[in-house]
Homo-oligomer: A and B are copies of this chain.
Amino acid sequence: MANKVAVFRKEHFNAAHRLHNPLWDEATNDKVFGKCNNPHYHGHNYELIVKLTGVPDPATGYVYDLKLLSDLVRDEILERFDHRNLNLDTVEFKDLNPTAENIAVVIYDILREKIAKELDLHIRLYETERNFVEYPAI
């Protein structure tokens, strides 16, 4: 990847969620998801890091204007998920368990549509300071 630079923008959102598999009985859900299966939901401060990789534009020195990336993440991701209940308030997780893994893939798929194909996209999502995920895996 000679000449390529990666640029990163960090944003955050707060959301409620519940981990649950509707095909399983309650005992199995409890055993697998433990406290995360609370039917009344719990929540997190999600920290999201979006990475774009490409060749800097010689005229600007930018791979991508990080102010524009921040605006894009705000419009496409924070507007959908910030201060929402992921299970109840979103179409994306109506039938998809909102684990950190699945949230990262969903965010990737949304942003991938909005960013030129010449740029590689990568997502890191912190559910807590100690639990986080990346997609696609490096």
**A62 (CB) vs chain B CBs: closest residue:** B99
Query: Across the interface, do A137 and B6 meet the contact criterion of CB distance under 8 Å?
Result: yes
Q: Report the minimum CB–CB distance from A67 to chain B (whole Å).
A: 7
Chain A 83-103 interface 0/1 with B at a Cβ cutoff of 8 Å (1 = within) = 111001100000011111110
Main secondary structure of the interface of A (DSSP, over half): mixed
**Interface: A134 (CB within 8 A):** yes
Which listed residue, B5, B84, B100, B138, touches A7 by the CB 8 Å rule? B100
**A99 (CB) vs chain B CBs: closest residue:** B61
- Copies of this chain per assembly: 6
- Point out the residues of chain B lying under 8 angstroms from A24, CB to CB: 59
Question: Which of A14, A17, A43 is packed against the most chain B CB atoms within 10 Å?
Answer: A43
Q: Report the minimum CB–CB distance from A69 to chain B (whole Å).
A: 9
A interface list, Cβ under 8 A from B = 1-12, 14-17, 19, 21, 23-24, 32-36, 38, 40-45, 53, 56, 59-63, 65-67, 70, 82-85, 88-89, 96-102, 104-105, 120, 128-138
